[in-house]
Amino acid sequence: MFLNRRKAFLFAYSAKVLLFVLAMALLVRALFVSGFSIQTEAMSPTLQAGDFILAWKTFDPQRGDVVILSCPDNGNTCIKRVVGLPGDRIEIRKQRLIVNARPADYEKQPSDGVDVNLVEKSQDNSWLISVDSSMPSEMVPVVVPPDHLFLLNDHRSDLSDSRQWGPVSKFQMEAKAWRIWLSIDWEKSKLNWRRLLAHID
């Protein structure tokens, strides 16, 4: 009899704890964290098609952040990198990003195919980008207005970013990318184990 009561108590207690944990997880999901899947190579090599990521909903956009927003041209959800803040003067010459008259530095990284992977160092921040050396990239200077951000793809051959749209209101930013929680190589039908739980820089 005593054992039956103890089992019943433990079962009820465990059920309450489980419900509490689930409720907290749903609350965090609703208020603070969102999940997104990457469908294109626009942010390659940082993010690849088949990556599933977690993102913070509450954040103050900073230079170097990878952000999720509604694309100004079609309203679809897209993901870009913040390279310019309000008041910054942004230009691109011969594929080199220039912020406030200070050219970015570049360090070549191992890569496959036509694209070249580089570490781009700008304004004391750095991130990995991919460029097609056969595609010239130039952009006349743009000054970022108040409450706006200048956004670029890490895969610079994809021009669907502030080079086409211009600066984007910071109020359109929905979340800041945080971690890759799952990554699938669709062509080979297997998990990319080395990318699991990777921090998004």
Structural domain count, the chain: 2
Break the chain down into helix, strand, coil percent, rounded to 5: 20, 40, 40
* Same-domain check for residues 9 and 84: no
* Same-domain check for residues 38 and 133: yes
* DSSP state at residue 129: E
* Same-domain check for residues 61 and 157: yes
Domain ranges, residue 129: 32-195
Position 14 scores a pLDDT of 58
* Same-domain check for residues 5 and 63: no
Position 132 scores a pLDDT of 85
Digits of tens for pLDDT over the chain (201 positions)? 544 665 555 556 555 555 544 544 444 455 458 889 999 999 999 999 999 999 998 789 999 999 999 988 888 899 999 999 999 999 999 889 999 999 999 999 887 766 889 999 998 999 999 998 777 678 999 999 999 999 999 999 999 999 999 999 999 999 999 999 999 998 888 899 999 889 998
* Same-domain check for residues 103 and 126: yes
* Same-domain check for residues 2 and 68: no
Q: For residue 169, tell me if it sits in a domain.
A: yes
In 3D space, the residue among 130, 104, 135 whose CA is nearest the CA of residue 118 turns out to be 130
In DSSP notation, 30-81 reads HHTEEEEE--SSTTTTTS-TTEEEEEESS----TT-EEEEE-TTT--EEEEE
* Same-domain check for residues 83 and 140: yes
